[in-house]
Structure 1
């Protein structure tokens, strides 16, 4: 299977998604869209992954590739090819299908509890999880659900934590790809940003990592493997 990964910021790590793709023997091509690299060719890829970034999903002036990326995600989704949008990627997917991007409306950071909806319990990907699970959050924005989307997961901070459009176009607001190694790397690269976002969290990180981080890692890899199973190699 051939999978294109689109990066929207300099420090991007595939984490649990990368592990699941490697287990499946996927041929992966990575596109640094934030650095001006051209987006992948729809015809040569079986699936599309779009990761997060510090920009918002409507920041077209500073990131003029965003409308093209939204259109590409919709093209993959409409064709039945598997799509995965995480954090900013989920917000771009919502935009692609007519959802409203709500900038700064849902700040959230750290390992947080998320609950499946009734639709999530029946979904091919979310059904592999318990009704409540932990995952890492780092976002300020949220979105309205596009028309026809299946609402899969929610919590008190951001009601639309996960959704699916069509057969296999998935948006996840939470960073299930971010295992403990990824989180530690983010701490190294962005300590000032994290301290502003959640004062004191860096000092308390060692309390949370062995428990919340461990449970989040398990849930994240389970989700990643379930999404990879939705890819249909051409």
Structure 2
């Protein structure tokens, strides 16, 4: 039986950054538009038939933060967080597969009873991530180098995975870089999809959003472009090969 396509779920209000992120996911998975569909969750709720149409979900990043006070969250942010929780609930039960990235890991961690705080931010750029013993045994992460560079830019994180989560990757700055729940829910704090060039283009969109000093853009972008970031994209290819449609 032919497996269903995957769905890229956009949670970025900035449409240009969202379009570029979809393209990064598409190129990383080596899928065309018939194999990786896209849905803008900022502008449209998750379709009722999404879990019938798609075998897996790839959730992108966002300038939103899970730890934003509820009183400051917009109706859109509250709604899309509920929809992300719906995806997480299905992935936990094995109905579908899902990979949540950056902002998404915070939504899932909180939904599953874990703690997310502002205590574990990471600067914009490349960081070194190490696999745990469980990560080295994981069907997807086990294909990666035991230590690798990954791209990050976030204001919140976690000290431990949520109940039921298996820690797969970590570093000193942000102890939870990746975890798995069951066999079909994965979450990463780092961004697995962009090339270094795509990441600097995303940086330009968010240069005034507090991730780094705006006047430091050129210096940080040069450091990003000089980094060797090879392993995260291999994670996406493993996810696509395991849960996506056959080419």
Cα pair distance change 1:77/1:19, threshold 3 Å: farther
- Corresponding residue for residue 126 of structure 2: 111
- Corresponding residue for residue 29 of structure 2: 21
Deviation at 1:230? Answer: 2.4
Deviation at 1:83? Answer: 0.5
Deviation at 1:115? Answer: 0.5
Deviation at 1:208? Answer: 4.4
**Is the aligned partner of 1:39 residue 2:50?**
no
Deviation at 1:159? Answer: 0.2
Q: Greater CA deviation, 170-179 or 137-146?
A: 137-146
Q: Do 2:22 and 2:38's aligned partners in 1 also have CA atoms closer than 8 Å?
A: no
SS in 1 for 2:209: helix
Unpaired stretches in structure 1, ≥5 consecutive residues: none
- Corresponding residue for residue 52 of structure 1: 61
SS in 1 for 2:26: helix
TM-score by length of 2: 0.82
Cα pair distance change 1:28/1:132, threshold 3 Å: same
Deviations 1:170-207 (A, max 9, x none): 00000121212321211332233367458735324324
Deviation at 1:68? Answer: 3.1
Pick from 137, 152, 157: which aligns with 1:137?
152
Q: Greater CA deviation, 155-164 or 78-87?
A: 78-87
Q: Greater CA deviation, 119-128 or 8-17?
A: 8-17
TM-score by length of 1: 0.86
Cα pair distance change 1:223/1:232, threshold 3 Å: closer
Q: Greater CA deviation, 38-47 or 68-77?
A: 68-77
Q: Do 2:5 and 2:244's aligned partners in 1 also have CA atoms closer than 8 Å?
A: no
**Is the aligned partner of 1:3 residue 2:15?**
no
Cα pair distance change 1:72/1:195, threshold 3 Å: closer
Cα pair distance change 1:192/1:57, threshold 3 Å: closer
Between the aligned partners of 2:223 and 2:6, the Cα distance in structure 1 is 36
Q: Number of aligned pairs? A: 228
Deviation at 1:19? Answer: 1.6
- Corresponding residue for residue 236 of structure 2: 224
Deviations 1:76-115 (A, max 9, x none): 331242101000111122223222222x221112101010
- Corresponding residue for residue 108 of structure 2: 93
Between the aligned partners of 1:207 and 1:87, the Cα distance in structure 2 is 21
